[in-house]
Amino acid sequence: MFYLGIDVSKATLDCCLLYQGVGGKKKNKRFINSAKGYSELLQWLTQQGGTPTQTHIGMEATGCYHEEAAFRLHEAGCLVSIVNPAQVRYFAKGRAIRTKTDKVDSEVIAYFVGINKPELWQPPTPEVLLFKGLLARLQALNDDLQREKNRLEKALSTTTPARVIASINASIRFIESEIKRLEDDKNDHIQQHPDLKRDKVLLESIPAIGDKTSDALLAILQTHHFDSADKFASYLGVIPVEKQSGTILGKVMLSKNGPSQVRAKLYMAAIVATQYNPHVKKLYERLLAKGKCKMLALGAAMRKLAHLCFGVWKNQTPYQANFLPKTP
């Protein structure tokens, strides 16, 4: 088995190939992050005596720059893993690697893949890709809308010319109409695909999980593989992290890994859940009764919501308010 580590940037792919296993020799080469570069990479791999089906490729999740490379290499038959940058960073520290260059990063990824054998990545279906794209565009437009409203508020409180205010208002009207159009497109898309529609209904069966939160969580559940609710909560960054050494006791805080925008939606849902979700409310009140601070209890409520969402999605069963977990 060959192990190929790729450090992805906007313009280039820095590659390190372990062609004799983890304990053998390695080769480095840089390619352009483009269709031509992917073709040249596969040709170079063949020249080294490797085949796509015998090559396990690892690359970090780098925003959007890794996606096209992952799709093209997967289509060619390669075994592709999208690895967590934080895990790779800790792996490098464990090997006492302090140098950070594109070449070194690709070598670290190659050894990480060779030693840990991370889970293989499967590309999302076309309907899920479109769903994710619509959500990303809606988020961008909502951010733009808020910025324009902030500009309008500032303009109205100063001596801003009327033409400028009219321009801001026109921009706001256009963005609002585009948001409405995309919201309709998204809803129609969900209605046309039974899997998306079913999973969204399941998530929204949980009290406090509304339209925006269910969309965000559904996009994650449809594009990632989680073995357990704990791993799902860990991805969302809502697991507790404690730092303690000797007599020094640190605060217990949320890990806050993963997508912050999704976590923000889950935070607002957790606030509602402490009043209207039986399971979350019971947990929240029990922690407060033990003297825990409200923010710690709210973090636990977020984690509980994540567990409930994973549960209804995994078991394909609507939320049951009177459900009691099995005791060992």
26-32 and 12-18 strand pairing = antiparallel
CA nearest neighbour of 218 among 190, 244, 241: 190
* Adjacent-strand bridge partners of 240: 254
Q: How far apart are CA 281 and CA 298, in angstroms?
A: 10
Q: How far apart are CA 93 and CA 7, in angstroms?
A: 17
Q: Provide DSSP, 8-25.
A: E-SSEEEEEEEBTBTTS-
Q: What is the pLDDT of residue 84?
A: 85
Element (H, E) at 322: none
Q: What is the pLDDT of residue 108?
A: 94
In a domain, 75, yes or no: yes
Same domain for 169 and 228, yes or no, is no
Q: What is the pLDDT of residue 328?
A: 44
Same domain for 220 and 185, yes or no, is no
Q: What is the pLDDT of residues 298-316, one digit of tens each?
A: 999 999 999 999 999 999 9
Same domain for 10 and 101, yes or no, is yes
Same domain for 71 and 153, yes or no, is no
Q: Write out the residue range of the structural domain in which residue 248 sits.
A: 214-315
**Half-sphere exposure of 110 toward its Cβ, with a 13 Å CA cutoff?**
30
Q: How far apart are CA 321 and CA 298, in angstroms?
A: 20
In a domain, 202, yes or no: no
Last residue of a domain, one of 65, 95, 116: 116
Contact between 57 and 75 (Cβ < 8 Å): no
In a domain, 239, yes or no: yes
* Adjacent-strand bridge partners of 253: 241
In a domain, 182, yes or no: yes
Q: Which amino acid is at 191?
A: Q
Query: DSSP class of residue 54?
Result: G
* Adjacent-strand bridge partners of 13: 8, 31
79-83 and 240-245 strand pairing = unpaired
Instruction: CATH number of the domain at 48, please.
Output: 3.30.420.10
In a domain, 220, yes or no: yes
CA nearest neighbour of 311 among 271, 262, 276, 277: 277
Same domain for 188 and 284, yes or no, is no
Same domain for 112 and 7, yes or no, is yes
Same domain for 137 and 108, yes or no, is no
CB atoms within 10 A of CB 257: 16
Give the global pTM. Answer: 0.83
* Adjacent-strand bridge partners of 32: 12
Contact between 145 and 94 (Cβ < 8 Å): no
Contact between 258 and 266 (Cβ < 8 Å): no
Q: Which amino acid is at 288?
A: L
* Adjacent-strand bridge partners of 135: none
In a domain, 132, yes or no: yes
Structure tokens at 262: 């999704």
Q: What is the pLDDT of residue 248?
A: 59
Q: What is the pLDDT of residue 167?
A: 97
Structure tokens at 47: 């020249």
In a domain, 47, yes or no: yes
Domains held by the chain: number: 3
Last residue of a domain, one of 69, 90, 116: 116
Last residue of a domain, one of 192, 223, 240: 192
Q: What is the pLDDT of residue 326?
A: 55
Q: How far apart are CA 43 and CA 237, in angstroms?
A: 40
Q: Would you write out the chain's pLDDT as a tens digit for each of its 328 residues?
A: 899 999 999 999 999 999 888 888 899 999 999 999 999 999 999 999 888 899 999 999 877 889 899 999 999 999 999 998 888 998 999 989 888 899 999 999 999 999 999 989 999 999 999 999 999 999 999 999 999 999 999 999 999 999 999 999 999 999 999 999 999 999 999 999 999 999 999 999 999 999 999 999 999 999 888 989 999 999 899 988 777 666 656 677 777 777 889 999 999 999 999 999 999 999 999 999 999 889 999 999 999 999 999 999 999 999 998 876 554 4
Structure tokens at 165: 């205010």
Q: What is the pLDDT of residue 239?
A: 85
In a domain, 64, yes or no: yes
Q: What is the pLDDT of residues 138-152, one digit of tens each?
A: 999 999 999 999 999
